[in-house]
Chains A and B, each alone.
Chain A
Amino acid sequence: MSSAFLQDALIYLACAVVFVPIAKKLGMGSVLGYLLGGIIIGPFFLGFIGAEGKDIMHFAEFGVVMMLFLIGLELEPATFWRMRKLILGMGFMQLGATTLLCFAALFWVGFTWQAALACGLAFSMSSTAIVMQTLREKGLTKTESGRSSFAVLIFQDISVIPILALLPLLAASTTQAPSGGHATLMTGLPGWAQTLTLLIAANAVVLIGRFVFVPFLRFIARIRLRELFTAAALLIVIGTAYLMMLVGLSPALGAFLAGLVLATSEFRHELESDIEPFKGILLGLFFIAVGASINFKLIIGNPVQIMALVCGVIAIKSLVLYATGKLSRLSFDQNMIFTLGLGQVGEFAFVLFAFIAQLQILSAPWTDMMMGATAISMTITPLLLLINERLILPRFGTKEALGEKEADVIEGEHPVIIAGFGHFGSTVGRFLRANGISATILDNDSDRVEILRKMGFTVFYGDATRLDILKSAGADRAKILIAAIDSPEINFGLVERIKKEFPDLRLMVRAKSRLDAYDLLDMGIEDIYRESLDTSVRLGVDVLMKLGFRKYSATRAGQNFIKYDEAALRTLAAHRHDQEAYLFNTREQIALQEQLLANDREVFPNVHDDAWDKRAED
């Protein structure tokens, strides 16, 4: 291992560790942190990384490859089918209209029609990496804007395959000299043959996935070595990527296809949890590399052209996106998030531009300009979203608070704050309201906020983990805060923030599972409500009744079981850390169940319930 490698690793990791927490503290999200970190350590500011930044970029693109593998994995055919209208409708409209407008604009300023069309196609791509990461961090994946963004991104990601297949047909000369880069199998083939190769390769991945990967994984899983499974997972991703590279295609697409094929296999969750950490780190590296690759010399050299390009592209994309959102009847807030979120040019544009340059459709200096514009637009997106969240939406969209109403909130009038008003929080809220307790609600789905406000609820709109929103919602005066956000990560973030900033506020926390409950216990939370416990036990009680148990005995058994399970949760939580690392995440769940069942047999009191009946033993 060379010292240069260690030095590079040191710089990149330190950059991530320093800048991401700062960005998070400032409420900017991790993507912007990585990007800014990259710019600052890049050749134009501190110069810690120089020309080799490009190589790192190639390496870091592997983060994108893994991300697409994971997206493919998550996208079960059933989900895909359910969203088909959204994906095809919105996706086609966005891609088609953006390409057309960009084509027209570039043709108008004097590009050849081939170059204009190729650039238009590249510009129609948005950044799946940035958008998905941002949406997940903000907990917006389940809102209308989140679903729409996902649909459009999926359509774009899939479209890259036919676009890559089409580009050779646009090439001015069919026999182009390779520009000294790595030679691929496709180099030198005529356009139609390249198109054919591509389609064959895509089909090959699907077939190999089904008939080679799955049996291979079954074999590896039987050996029961965790690191071997991780190695196998990485091997599949890297192998597919390499194969695609060999035929001169985007490795990311190969990985996406492989993921799609494996989504229906039994290894889906294990693959997901194995690849996830690699993806996270490499994607961060990718963002840093994008930041570092921004060529400020080029910008200073042609400031007007670059800025016109960036603004023009973002303007055209946003216009099309807004119209698309409007047509699918997104409300103003959701549409603004959707529009600005997808307004940048994405990482696939790098791939496409590189390919376009290779085919000599576009000259090298212009390719540099286009790539520069792409990187700048990616950096601007998180900033635009931030401006949208802090300045535009509060003024023109759903207000964070109802201005006049806020003044009316008399001290102690709303003793309860509910963070997250999904199926869990809303039931709590309705029950409290039915008993004359009005709660202040925090939610980040603007559509829901609109409806709730119409119904007369006091609702604050925004990210519940933000200090200013918590303050304006009265967290310093309220007695109880109910943390009922659907995403456990965000809910935990909220819990941590409250414990630190408002130590007097009583926390009552929703836990999605037993494991989440353990984590909350570790954090020192007392009032933990597992969302499935009571309902499952109630169902069990009903089963006993249907089997002929007397209703009161069954009810008592249920009461005792809940009491016992709550106690067991607390005793077993302490022993949890004694266990060795488990083979798989899912194995941990199973081991947990085993432990519980053993415990049930030893101490569960119900079997000995002889209340009212002591004498019958005689």
Chain B
Amino acid sequence: MRSAAHPKRTILVATDFSKPGKLVVPYAFKLALALNLRLTILHVVKAPPEFEQWSPAAHRSLHSLKTKALLELGRLIRLANENGLMADQKLLVGIPGDSILKVAHRSHIAFIVMGTHGKTGWDRLRLGSVAESTLRQAPCPVLTVRASVPPYPRQSAPVERSSLSGSNGLFCLFDGSASDRR
């Protein structure tokens, strides 16, 4: 699906294939349909920089991780194509936060969609959060979906476009101080 003849604006879906990581996929599809955007599905294999050159064993272990990730990516791409969306896959090795930001800096990325575990308190300090660091430094808007958010009904994504307009509203929060700065 690398038919990027002309650069089109793209949603960057960053996923780690965990539960919250996968939860964002239907949301991303929905938005891509409504906004007429392409999808780039990104997975970052977590490893120290230059890890591949360390030793043959490191290379091998990374290789198996990459293969697994590629399979998962392929599955998502297929799902996207079934929903009538154009999707690219991207597999990077490195530190997740940094790699996501690097991709996000390309000009055709409209916004980032990613899941977050939404940990608070002690867990938050211990684990840190990829989503958070992305959120703070991203050059574009970021949509985060928390693990506890009820999953979006997948089958209805293409059909019920107006389901969002029913009883539920899009909710805009206006941060007064933010406007003062402009």
Q: Do A and B come from one complex?
A: no
A interface residues, Cβ below 8 angstroms from B: none
